Amino acid sequence: VAKALNIDLKQLPRTIELVRAGNSLVLQFVDQELLPDQVLIAKTSSWKEVVDAIMRLGIRGAPALGVAGAAALALWYVNELPKETGDFQENLDRVAGEIGHARPTAVNLQWGVQRMKDMIQSLDEADADANLSAVYEFVKSMEAQDEQINRSIGRHGSKLLGTNSRVLTHCNAGSLATVFFGTALGVIYTAAEEGKVERVYADETRPLGQGARLTVWELSRVGIPTTLLCDDMAATVMAKGMIDAVIVGADRITLHGDTANKIGTYNLAIAAAYHEIPFYVAAPLSTIDMNLEEGSGIPIEQRNPREVQTRPLTGVDVYNPAFDVTPASLITKIITEKGTCSPSQLRDFLGC
């Protein structure tokens, strides 16, 4: 018997929100470095502070990075450009480059920055008021679109789940990783309302604990029964028959269907294939890199060894890639806002 869960998404804050303050723009964001201890809505008018927040994972998750990147460039254009000297195009290229490279793996960041850059380049230099409104409205429409896209991913993905499913997820591909609602967790929210979710198993996600700190916080706030696992327990719970499906997000999907996501995703995909459990990747079309065929071409961010070795010992080498690549052959379906497809159908699905 299907048991629809009474979930309450109003318990979740909007992750990022651009606001207009007279003649300037301010970005509000949930500072995720502080979660779950503190729910702080940070406010900044400085594009450099947004870059800093992105680098320290105060703002994170591929779709949220796309909108934050666009918003950061809007902050520069409205709040800083009037004070700058030098060539406009050179300054724009430099700032857009710096924002776009704050994190290398999620293609959405460069996608969002490029969209705002194109928008700025289309403006008539003379009319500052109209330009402020135009860049503001552009970010607001990206914010609204992000939520619509996620709700659509949710509807398509939910069709893949049976009644009372027990779903395993990794990292945080939830509302916190987007403007609102989430991708992998968006599928879970939609399915929960349709009586298709019994429980979510959330990997801790070493080294920065996005599962333990963010996913578990988000799911329990909304009212989804959740069990926290250490990363190394996934194969065991699968072997015990406790998992019906794995759903994760993505930072970059190639045309071949290979997918970069948080380190440890590849391990999960191997374990899921061995146990014949479907492995789904939920992501917006903006996560697909239309210029890349194979996963081996995806740039993988290397992060500070201190994230892994919290008690430093001298003379110990640390390897800390933030992402891994799951080959297309291990992915059952990719879930997008336009529907679902197997990785081998991705090119046809995209019409390219």
Residues acting as catalytic residues = 251
> Least separation, in Å, of the C-beta of 251 and ligand MRU?
5
> Least separation, in Å, of the C-beta of 268 and ligand MRU?
11
Instruction: Rank residues 115 and 170 by Cβ distance to ligand MRU and give the closer one.
Output: 170
Instruction: Rank residues 165 and 326 by Cβ distance to ligand MRU and give the closer one.
Output: 326
> Least separation, in Å, of the C-beta of 250 and ligand MRU?
6
159 CB burial (10 A radius; 0-12, 13-18, 19+) = middle
Could you count the other beta carbons within 10 Å of the beta carbon of residue 259? 31
Report d(CA 119, CA 63) in Å as an integer.
Answer: 19
Give the three-state DSSP class for 211: helix
> Least separation, in Å, of the C-beta of 63 and ligand MRU?
5
Instruction: Rank residues 74 and 322 by Cβ distance to ligand MRU and give the closer one.
Output: 322
Instruction: Rank residues 92 and 173 by Cβ distance to ligand MRU and give the closer one.
Output: 173
> Least separation, in Å, of the C-beta of 146 and ligand MRU?
10
Instruction: Rank residues 107 and 139 by Cβ distance to ligand MRU and give the closer one.
Output: 107
> Least separation, in Å, of the C-beta of 24 and ligand MRU?
28
Q: Which residues bind ligand MRU (CB under 6 A)?
A: 57, 60-63, 106, 171, 173, 177-178, 183, 210, 249-251, 261-262, 322
Nearest-CB residue for ligand MRU: 249
Instruction: Rank residues 165 and 287 by Cβ distance to ligand MRU and give the closer one.
Output: 287
Q: Are 162 and 86 in contact (CB under 8 A)?
A: no
SS (H, E, C) the chain: CCCCCCCCHHHCCCCEEEEEECCEEEEEEECCCCCCCCCCEEEECCHHHHHHHHHCCCCCCHHHHHHHHHHHHHHHHHHHHHHCCCCHHHHHHHHHHHHHCCCCCCHHHHHHHHHHHHHHHCCCCCCHHHHHHHHHHHHHHHHHHHHHHHHHHHHHHHCCCCCCEEEEECCCCCHHHCCCCCCHHHHHHHHHHCCCEEEEEEECCCCCCHHHHHHHHHHHHHCCCEEEECHHHHHHHHHCCCCCEEEECCCEECCCCCEEEECCHHHHHHHHHHCCCCEEEECCHHHECCCCCCHHHCCCCECCHHHCCCCCCCCCCCCCECEEEECHHHCCEEEECCEEECHHHHHHHHCC
> Least separation, in Å, of the C-beta of 300 and ligand MRU?
11
Instruction: Rank residues 120 and 185 by Cβ distance to ligand MRU and give the closer one.
Output: 185
